[in-house]
Structure 1
Amino acid sequence: KRQESCLVMLSIISCLCSASAKGDLPEVLFLLQNGADVNGCNKFGRTSLQVVKLGNPDVARALLAAGADPNARDPTCGLTVTHDAAREGFLDMVHVLVEHRADVNAVDFDGNLPLHLAAREGHLKVVQLLLGLTAEPGRRNGHGHTAWDLAHAYHKTDTANYIAEYMIAYH
């Protein structure tokens, strides 16, 4: 009985992670209502929020409302969902995470803030949001680079210019 119960729980967590990754809100809600552990990990050590389809903030909202940890880290690289959403330019997802107390000052194993990753990829709207929320917008990552350095090095001119203007005006 105990083994069966354990297998059922692992299966529910896998199903929740799968539904989250697909952006299947009805399935996510069904699984949550039927006892799925919102912070349980799949076989890769990731939670349903960590594998959520980034373009689907409604699924993230449902997971967060059920108690998902917005600051859970990927065990291999230290990234949070906020890092992932910022890197990929999903502004709506970053908003949802911030509304649910995601730590925009969390650093990954390379010392990157979500701001560094958004700047490197040239996601100006995400950078604009994060600049106002990040405690140290001039912080250097583990390689000694600021968000401006990364935007500049990766030829994200609009983003680099915005960061430079922000730093002059506010810091």
Structure 2
Amino acid sequence: MAEHSPLDKLTSASAQGNLTEVKCLLRNGADVNGYNRFGRTALQVVKMGNSAVAIALLKSGANPNTRDPCCNLTITHDAARDGWTDLVRVLIDYGADVNLLDSHGNLPLHLAAREGHYEVVQLLIGRTTNPALQNTQGHTPYGLALSYSRMNIANCIATYTGLQID
């Protein structure tokens, strides 16, 4: 069986949340922004909820705005959709752009609102240039929150954007 490349090892260690291995591979010259055999970077596959591994990668220069080749998602989209508040905060601290759109015109705020992640919405809303932006289906984060009965999130967005709630 062929030995995996350093990039494959780095992405594997990142996906497993193995901080010790990630640091070792980085010290030994693994390209933090290189793509593995599946076309992903170590940060793109980082074990969600493992902010320590994300921080190690970001401190080594990982680009938090690299897009997934399939849906144009960034790691911030993934973390917002899945409700990883601490990871979203770390990504923002290291330069993640919360205003990037995925292939469907969704901001990370759209995904957090749709999935009901109140703390993530609170974190993103003040950093989002246009929190009333419509995605390609014509939905705003507020509209998605309403559609999915996320009333606390809809109220939060309405308060921030000055919408009148009936």
Report the TM-score when normalising by structure 2. Answer: 0.94
> Number of matched residues?
162
Instruction: Output the CA distance in 2 between the equivalents of 1:163 and 1:122.
Output: 12
Deviations 1:8-30 (A, max 9, x none): 7x611000000000100000000
Instruction: Output the CA distance in 2 between the equivalents of 1:111 and 1:131.
Output: 16
Instruction: Output the CA distance in 2 between the equivalents of 1:76 and 1:168.
Output: 35
Deviations 1:137-166 (A, max 9, x none): 111111111001111111111111111121
Please state which structure has a larger fraction of its residues in helix: 1
Counterpart of 1:4 in structure 2 is none
Tell me the SS of whatever aligns to 2:157. helix
Aligned CA-pair RMSD = 1.3
Tell me the SS of whatever aligns to 2:162. helix
Counterpart of 1:44 in structure 2 is 38
Counterpart of 1:120 in structure 2 is 114
Deviations 1:73-112 (A, max 9, x none): 0001000000000000000000100001100000001000
Which of residues 33, 53, 60 in structure 1 aligns to 2:54? 60
Which of residues 144, 150, 156 in structure 2 aligns to 1:150? 144
| Post-superposition offset of 1:127 | 0.3
Instruction: Output the CA distance in 1 between the equivalents of 2:136 and 2:42.
Output: 28
Which of residues 9, 26, 31 in structure 2 aligns to 1:15? 9
In the TM superposition, 1:99-114 aligns within 5 A as 99-114=93-108
Kindly provide the amino acid, as one letter, of the partner of residue 104 in structure 1.
V
Tell me the SS of whatever aligns to 1:26. helix
Tell me the SS of whatever aligns to 2:126. helix
Spell out structure 1 runs of 4+ moving beyond 3 A.
none
Report the TM-score when normalising by structure 1. Answer: 0.92
Instruction: Output the CA distance in 2 between the equivalents of 1:60 and 1:35.
Output: 17
Counterpart of 1:94 in structure 2 is 88
Instruction: Output the CA distance in 2 between the equivalents of 1:64 and 1:141.
Output: 29
Instruction: Output the CA distance in 1 between the equivalents of 2:41 and 2:147.
Output: 33
Instruction: Output the CA distance in 1 between the equivalents of 2:38 and 2:104.
Output: 21
Which of residues 53, 68, 76 in structure 1 aligns to 2:70? 76
Tell me the SS of whatever aligns to 1:160. helix
